[in-house]
Structure 1
Amino acid sequence: MHDVPRTANLLGATALAVSDLLLAGVTSAAGTSESGAAALVVLSATPGISVTELGRRIGLSQPAAARMVDALEARGLVERRQTMGRSVAVHLTGPGTAAAKELLNARGGALAGLVERLDPADRSALAGLLEKLLTAAYAEVPNSELLCRLCDRPTCTTPDTSCPVGAAERAMQ
């Protein structure tokens, strides 16, 4: 049987390899940085949030988030809209919406290519293990927005399944 250090090492190597595949696909599809790609996905799920909130959800400080939004705005992918008072909301433009869809498709394709190599029983077992790992990850990083910043949310929650991160969040409240 595998010991904990070896299994942890295998998990680390797999996580890095999967991360490299995922990020290469999304950054090339969006033509932007990793944080820019994450911002497009977050804004596609929750349009109209502030720059500060967007930064919080993707793990950037407010100044770094403002610079990233400036870059996305310069590329025509997002726009700032004045709201009540001094608040400014960030929204995807048409090209930004298209880029978010394209990068989620690229992300899904890269990951599906790996998962399809497993037989159905192994895919089912992997799904169960990943749900447990994501629940454990939420205990370590109790921020569902940050953990799911590149998630294809409609794919995660189906009539038969629920998002394990969302379930962990609800259980902690």
Structure 2
Amino acid sequence: MHDTARTANLLGAAALAVTDHALGAVSRAAGTGTSAAAALVVLLTSPELSVTELGRRVGLSQSAAARMVDSLQAAGLVERRPGTGREVRVSATSAGRDTAARLLRARTQSLSELVSVLDVHEQRALTELLTTLLTRLYTEIRSSEYLCRLCDRPSCTTNATCPVGQAERDRDG
């Protein structure tokens, strides 16, 4: 008989350790906290977001997002522009885009090192399992922007279908 509680515990321990490993690499590469790093990545694919929308995509309240944007602007990584009415739009500067690219490379390297201990068959099996888990997680979180806030989108969508994007299309279709 399979011990589901043990599997769940191992998943929890691995998920936390992998998160710590990847976010450490991201924070070191970006020189920012993880929310700010995620904001830079989000702005790579969605420039000109409002502060409120950017905060929503990285899991911050509007006031916390405004403070984060203040610090990113002070570091020269984003700029604000007037939007409609009282809305303020945020874009990554050239330095911000370079920082986002650097942190994505660091994230990829960090995670690739972990995956490299698996042989090709194990990596394929892990891909299948992660696809299933991410599809299930999307049904709870219901926001591809939030779930994929630190994703290297081209690596997930080149020669493959992103499971989160597919789950979103299935929901909307």
For structure 2, the residue ranges without an aligned partner over 5 or more in a row are none
Counterpart in the other structure of 1:83? 83
CA distance in 1, matches of 2:2, 2:144: 30
Counterpart in the other structure of 2:51? 51
DSSP 3-state at the match of 1:80: strand
CA RMSD in angstroms, aligned pairs only: 0.9
CA distance in 1, matches of 2:104, 2:59: 19
Kindly state the Cα deviation for residue 158 of structure 1 after the two structures are TM-superposed. Answer: 1.7
1:10-159 alignment runs, 5 A limit:
10-159=10-159
Kindly state the Cα deviation for residue 113 of structure 1 after the two structures are TM-superposed. Answer: 0.4
CA distance in 1, matches of 2:163, 2:2: 26
Counterpart in the other structure of 1:166? 165
Letter in 2 for 1:115: V
1:68-99 CA-to-partner distances (Å, cap 9, x unmatched) read 00000000000001234332210001110110
Kindly state the Cα deviation for residue 157 of structure 1 after the two structures are TM-superposed. Answer: 0.5
TM-score using structure 1 length: 0.97
CA distance in 2, matches of 1:36, 1:95: 14
TM-score using structure 2 length: 0.97
CA distance in 2, matches of 1:163, 1:40: 21
Aligned length: 172
Letter in 2 for 1:139: T
Identity of aligned residues (%): 60
For structure 1, the residue ranges without an aligned partner over 5 or more in a row are none
1:21-43 CA-to-partner distances (Å, cap 9, x unmatched) read 11000011000011000000000
CA distance in 2, matches of 1:9, 1:61: 31
CA distance in 2, matches of 1:83, 1:36: 21
